[in-house]
Amino acid sequence: MSARRPFYFVGRAVEAMARRPSVAFVSILTIFVAAFVIGLFAAVLRGGERLLGAWAGEVHISVYLDPAADLDAARAAAQTAAPGRTVEAVSAPVALQRFRASLGAQGALLDGLRPDLLPPSVEVRAPGIALAEARSLAARLQGVPGAREVDYGNAWLERLERLLERLRWAGIGLFVALALGAAVLVANTLRLGVFARRDEIDIMRLVGATDLFVETPFLLEGLLQGLAGGVLAAGALVGICALALPGLATAGLPLARSEVLPPALIGAVVGGGAALGLLASALAVGRELGRRAR
Amino acid sequence: MIQLFHVHKQYPGEAPALLDVSLGIEKGEFVFLTGPSGAGKSTLMRLVFCAEVATSGQLLVFGRNVAKVKPSQVPYLRRSIGVVFQDFKLLPDRTVAENVAFPLEVRGLAPREVKRKVSAILGSVGLDLKAGKFPLSLSGGEQQRVAVARALVGDPALLLADEPTGNLDPERTLEVMDLLHAANARGTTVLVATHDRTLLERYKKRVVALERGRVMTDGAEIRRAGFA
């Protein structure tokens, strides 16, 4: 292939789209819808994960201490282990007092019990903390002098993590199904374009064109249409974020655009659109050439 | 140039299209292939052009056994063959010059070279002033001249014409036949499928007559025998 060929093929692809703008428009629209739906789904899933993670992060970690432990030293160590977090030392009598208060009218049941019945503890509040971070902080707090047990609501967090994991898998499954469905849909749309040019294909083969020569402009056409559809989808997603995020923040769901639609996802939508166009056109032209073998 | 040895071609569920056809066409020959509709003329053309493969027998084109040519090599074989059809097979949304340029673009020639060759061939078929027109704005005879120009622009060693004058009036028929004749005079081997007996009478060339897939007669004597 000579150095001129790439320009020749790009020229042919652009020329073909200009000759049949309606077919190109339908293809771009189909890829746009497919890339937009998949991108929107990914963004919503990301946003949901971030919100769930943040809610899960309202973590209250209790470090239960030996009765003889030095409460001030434990508090200082906990503060070092959890910089920037609110750390409170709770002595045994205060713990019992709080327990009694939590029982309300039935607090009288605790009358007569020793004031050191409950162990002293250090309480760490960690709002907005992610699951993995909570686990790591709990591990660090194990090192507090006199620590006997660290409780960070494991059961609740583990359940939530399992739920998120299931959601992630469901998301991947849905993503694959959507991508396959979109590829078939786009391939059928692009086949219309290939079918409209079957005479051209016949004549190209008549005059000695190789399959590669016949296919390349179609593949480039698919790639360019996919790129256009992907860019439009990414633009639409950015627009929707700009419109929706302030409203969500007002409703108590604070999300930054970089959290739901990071540059990597924008790139994936554009690249995915291009790949979808390329794959679909390869399917479409491959089927047509296969049908016209020799 | 072309050699057929006991070539047989059968389509599923149909009578044989070619039956035990043996034939040789030398380099530089001008041969008419004649016979009634369904005689096997177009099938023979399609075999030579590698659009189909024979059911049995051997077909050699340019000394190569067509059945053994790999599919990836077929396009390169076709570049040595020009083809003209009764229905012209021109792209209506491309200009005359663009239609004629196709075989040269396929070969990867430089745009300047393509332009030069297209201009020259259109001049030789008398269509240099119609280069920018679209095929549907031309007469049938002009469209067929464009098709002949496209077939000849790559200087093929072999020119196949399947009923090239079937859609033309007598005057336009002679114009197109003269172009094929001129190409033959320049050294191109020409094989024309036709059932127009006036052409056989006018151009004193070898005639191969097919009927129901068999070669009935082969040679100049066919005219004397009044077969055509």
Q: What number is the average pLDDT over the span B49-69? A: 89
pLDDT for the residue B114: 93
pLDDT class for A237, splitting at 50, 70, 90? Answer: very high
Residue of B209 and A181 predicted with greater confidence: B209
Q: Is the Cβ–Cβ distance between A91 and A33 less than 8 Å?
A: no
**DSSP bridge pairs for B85:** B162
Q: Of B42, B59, B77, which is closest to residue B192 (Cα–Cα)?
A: B42
Exposed / middle / buried, residue A140 (Cβ in 10 Å: 0-12, 13-18, 19+): middle
Residue of B117 and A103 predicted with greater confidence: B117
Q: Of B206, B132, B150, B145, which is closest to residue B177 (Cα–Cα)?
A: B145
Distance from CA of A187 to the nearest CA of B (A): 24
Q: Of A254, A103, A70, A285, which is closest to residue A187 (Cα–Cα)?
A: A285
Using the predicted structure, report yes or no on whether residue A57 has a pLDDT greater than 60: no
Summarised one tens digit per residue, pLDDT across range A45-55 is: 788 777 766 66
To 5 degrees, how large is the angle CA B220–CA B225–CA B228?
80
Using the predicted structure, report yes or no on whether residue B100 has a pLDDT greater than 70: yes
Fill in the DSSP letter of residue A58: -
* Helix or strand holding residue B197 (H, E): helix B197-202
Task: Identify all chain B residues contacting A9, using CB atoms and an 8 Å cutoff.
Answer: none
Task: Identify all chain A residues contacting B76, using CB atoms and an 8 Å cutoff.
Answer: 208, 210
Residue of A239 and A181 predicted with greater confidence: A239
Using the predicted structure, report yes or no on whether residue B138 has a pLDDT greater than 50: yes
| Nearest-angstrom CA–CA distance, A56 and B69 | 68
Q: Of A167, A132, A143, which is closest to residue A57 (Cα–Cα)?
A: A132
Using the predicted structure, report yes or no on whether residue B224 has a pLDDT greater than 80: no
Fill in the DSSP letter of residue A70: -
Q: What number is the average pLDDT over the span B149-161? A: 92
The residues on B that touch A, with CB distances below 8 Å, are 50-53, 71-72, 74-79, 83, 89, 91, 93, 102-103, 105-108, 110-111, 150, 154
Query: Half-sphere exposure of B199 toward its Cβ, with a 13 Å CA cutoff?
Result: 30
pLDDT for the residue B93: 86
Please state the ipTM of this predicted complex. Answer: 0.81
Q: Of A174, A178, A183, which is closest to residue A275 (Cα–Cα)?
A: A183
Distances (CA, A) of A132 to A129, A135, A161: 8, 5, 10
% chain B with pLDDT above 90: 43
Of A19, A208, A293, the CB nearest to B79: A208
> How far is Cα of residue B5 from the mean position of the Cα atoms in its chain?
21
Using the predicted structure, report yes or no on whether residue B141 has a pLDDT greater than 50: yes
SS3 for A62? strand
Fill in the DSSP letter of residue B128: G
pLDDT for the residue B225: 45
pLDDT for the residue B228: 45
Considering the entire predicted model, what is its pTM? Answer: 0.69
Summarised one tens digit per residue, pLDDT across range A140-167 is: 988 899 889 888 766 666 776 777 778 7
Summarised one tens digit per residue, pLDDT across range B169-181 is: 888 888 888 888 8
Residues in chain A: 294
Q: Of B176, B179, B151, which is closest to residue B164 (Cα–Cα)?
A: B176
Using the predicted structure, report yes or no on whether residue A222 has a pLDDT greater than 80: yes
Other C-beta atoms closer than 10 Å to the C-beta of A246 total 10
> How far is Cα of residue B48 from the mean position of the Cα atoms in its chain?
10
Of A199, A202, A208, the CB nearest to B76: A208
pLDDT for the residue A152: 76
Q: Which residue of A has its CA nearest to B84?
A: A206
Residue of B219 and B128 predicted with greater confidence: B128
**DSSP bridge pairs for B25:** B2
Residue of B96 and A11 predicted with greater confidence: B96
Q: What number is the average pLDDT over the span A233-253? A: 88
Q: Is the Cβ–Cβ distance between B97 and B131 less than 8 Å?
A: yes
Q: For the ranges A95-99, A262-266, B26-30, which has the lowest average pLDDT?
A: A95-99
Q: What number is the average pLDDT over the span A95-100? A: 86
Using the predicted structure, report yes or no on whether residue B140 has a pLDDT greater than 70: yes
Q: Is the Cβ–Cβ distance between A187 and A275 less than 8 Å?
A: no
pLDDT for the residue B7: 92
